[in-house]
Structure 1
Amino acid sequence: MTIFGDVARWFADPAHWQGSHGIPVRVLEHLELSGLAVAIALVIAVPVALYLGHTGRGGFIAINLANIGRALPSLALIGLGLAIAIPLGLGLGFWPTMFALVPLAIPPIMTNTFVAIREVDRDVVDAARGMGLKESEILGTIEIPLGLPLMLGGIGTAAVNVVATATLGAIVAGGALGRFIVDGLALQEYDQLVAGALLVALLAILTEVAFAALARASAPPGMTVSP
């Protein structure tokens, strides 16, 4: 029980809540890093998935991309990000981590968006075409609204994965909450290490809860969203 007491005392220490290395700053760094990675992945994945889902072409691309994404080890992605950032003169820390997180976020977003559009009732889509709606209007007024809960589920999965993996950015001199874990291990300050792990876990849980709530709120009347 000693470690839990040490962790509680670590959280109770005002010094850990102040300054550029305090908990609030590290949380904001983590949110900034994770949020930007997911935003970039959205810009890349959503337009492609919407096109593939609407046209019904190239479904194997989305599925295979998801399988590849699941197979990529997180540490390998960090190493790849480092290999990209250093030759470009971007240094350590933020950008190597960003280059690792974006590929991690793309597969669940692309797969869920593709499936969300394809699962919209084809009879509804055909009826809209029969009424003279343009393809862009069908996508914007029917397919996206009906598929939005599933799309948000994919974005939520990506966000949780990114929040968890962003911790590894501290290995390449990044900041965020991973700094507590890496520094705690290096200094053998295990109260700091455990506290950092708890903060990352809490942030991941809150992210999951937030996107689940968004998915439920976005569901059209009568539609049930799986938790």
Structure 2
Amino acid sequence: MNLFLEFWLWISDPAQWSGGAGIPTRLGQHVLYSAQALALATLIGVPVGLVTGHTGRGGFLTASIANFARALPTIGVLMLVVIAVGIGVAPVMVALVALAVPPILVNTYEGVRGVDPQLKDAAQGMGMRGHEVLLKLELPVALPLILLGMRTAAIQVVSTATIAAYVGIGGLGRFIVDGQARREFDMVVGGSLLVVALAVLVTLMFYLLRRFLVAPGLRQAAAK
């Protein structure tokens, strides 16, 4: 049977749109886990990247830690945390945050470090202090790269949040795991395509954020 026909037959079944195992519930759980993980990763990665990029201190250590975190297998981190603290939301958050921090941290650091030194000299010549240079000059100029890092992290988190199903938590991954267990491959296809659609929506959301938050001149410079 055609892949898209299987998906259409599954998603058009009214039974898939109600109850605790329905698409709205699973989608809401998936979005919630992903948003929480991205928010935590942003709260960690952006401030650290801003400070290290502004001061120029700790850059090598920052990059090394980020690269190390990138090399960690997400499912392996998840299982280790499950063994340590048990099944629940915490293991999922730890694994997803570890996945999301590196691109946000590195892009923030590189964005701030890449600001033209002449611009910083001019800002200081106008009487701006260190934190004012950071917040009023370096942060706005670095914003396109920061948003790129957040977008990369968000897509990775949305795609990987399916692992929540392996430790008994909900989300769109339940359709994939349960479908495999029951040999209901229309459910597997449906769950997989819903995750893909959500990742596309996240990409569009960050495109809109970039349009609204980044000055046109900076958008053109970042596109070159």
Give TM-score, length-normalised by structure 2: 0.93
Q: Provide the aligned length of Structure 1 versus Structure 2.
A: 222
SS in 2 for 1:120: coil
Whole-Å separation in 1 of the counterparts to 2:113 and 2:58: 12
Whole-Å separation in 2 of the counterparts to 1:38 and 1:3: 31
Whole-Å separation in 2 of the counterparts to 1:99 and 1:53: 25
* Counterpart amino acid of residue 105 in structure 1: A
Deviations 1:19-75 (A, max 9, x none): 111111111101110100111111122211111000111211232233223211121
Describe how 1:1-150 pairs up with structure 2 within 5 A. Answer: 1-86=1-86, 92-150=87-145
Moved more, 94-103 or 173-182: 94-103
Aligned to 1:162: 157
Query: How many angstroms does 1:158 deviate by?
Result: 0.8
Q: Where in structure 2 are there 5+ consecutive unaligned residues?
A: none
Please tell me the root mean square deviation across aligned C-alpha atoms, in Å: 1.6
Whole-Å separation in 1 of the counterparts to 2:102 and 2:94: 15
Query: How many angstroms does 1:3 deviate by?
Result: 4.8
Deviations 1:170-189 (A, max 9, x none): 01111000000000000100
Deviations 1:90-143 (A, max 9, x none): xx2422111111111110110001011111111111111122211111111111
Whole-Å separation in 2 of the counterparts to 1:226 and 1:167: 32
Whole-Å separation in 1 of the counterparts to 2:112 and 2:3: 49
* Counterpart amino acid of residue 135 in structure 1: G
Whole-Å separation in 2 of the counterparts to 1:2 and 1:131: 65
Does the Cα contact within 8 Å between 2:6 and 2:189 map onto a contact in 1?
Answer: no
Moved more, 56-65 or 102-111: 56-65
Indicate how the Cα distance of structure 1 residues 171 and 186 shifts in structure 2: closer, same or farther if over 3 A, else same: same
Q: Percent of aligned pairs with the same residue? A: 46
More helix by share: 2
Whole-Å separation in 1 of the counterparts to 2:39 and 2:118: 33
Whole-Å separation in 1 of the counterparts to 2:203 and 2:77: 23
Indicate how the Cα distance of structure 1 residues 81 and 205 shifts in structure 2: closer, same or farther if over 3 A, else same: farther
Aligned to 1:210: 205
Does the Cα contact within 8 Å between 1:38 and 1:162 map onto a contact in 2?
Answer: yes
Does the Cα contact within 8 Å between 2:107 and 2:146 map onto a contact in 1?
Answer: yes
Whole-Å separation in 2 of the counterparts to 1:5 and 1:46: 43
Whole-Å separation in 1 of the counterparts to 2:46 and 2:2: 48
